[in-house]
Amino acid sequence: MAKVKQIKAILKLAIEAGKATPAPPIGPALGQHGVNIQEFVTQYNDKTRDKMGDVIPCILTVFDDRSFTIELKTPPVTSLLLKATGIKKGSAKPNLVKIGKVKRAQIKEIAEKKMADINAISLESAMKIVEGSAKSLGLEIID
C-alpha cells in the first residue's frame, strides 16, 4: 500500500503573474517550511506566464517530504474591476467621491470569471458580490 503524504502547511500567496522571485516576502515564507524556493518560483512563473499583468493568488500545499503542489485561483475581484475600468486605485472615500463607472455587462463578465472561486450559488448572487466590491472602490454602476 502506498504511503500517504502528510500535509505540513498550506500557504496562500498572491503574486503578480510571471514575476515571482525568491526575494521577500515569498522567499522567507517558503523557506520556513523547507520548500525549494527556486523550484516554486520556476513552476509558478511557468504556470502564470500567459496571465502577465494580473495578480494570481495560489494555494501552496507543502508536504512533509518537502514536495508541494500549486493550485492557481482567479485574480481578485478588485483587480479585475480596476483593470476593466482602467483605473489605478480605488477612491479614498468611496461613499462620497466616485472615481469611475462600470457597466452591468462588465460586472456580469467578472462574476462569470470568478464563479469558480467565489462563495455564491447563482450568477445573480455572484454579481451582487462584484457590485459590492465596485461600490467599495468608488465605482458607479451603470446599465
In the chain, which residues fall in CATH 3.30.1550.10? 7-72
Residue 1 pLDDT greater than 80, yes or no: no
Query: What is the pLDDT, as a whole number, of residue 94?
Result: 87
pLDDT digits (tens, 9 = 90+) for 4-13: 789 899 999 9
On average, the pLDDT of the chain sits at 90
Query: What is the pLDDT, as a whole number, of residue 133?
Result: 93
Range picked from 21-30, 87-96, 105-114 for highest mean pLDDT: 105-114
The rounded distance, in Å, linking the Cα atoms of 27 and 75 is 22
In the chain, which residues fall in CATH 1.10.10.250? 77-142
Residue 103 pLDDT greater than 90, yes or no: yes
This prediction has a pTM of 0.78
Which residues are within 8 A (CB) of 113 and not within 5 positions of it... i.e. 6 or more apart? 74, 80
Mean pLDDT for the stretch of residues 97-123: 91
Tell me how far CA of residue 140 lies from CA of 4, 27, 36, 72, in angstroms. Answer: 51, 39, 45, 30
Q: Yes or no: is domain 7-72 CATH 3.30.1550.10?
A: yes
The CATH architecture assigned to 77-142 reads Orthogonal Bundle (1.10)
**Count of Cβ atoms closer than 10 Å to residue 22 Cβ:** 13
Residue 110 pLDDT greater than 90, yes or no: yes
Residue 2 pLDDT greater than 80, yes or no: no
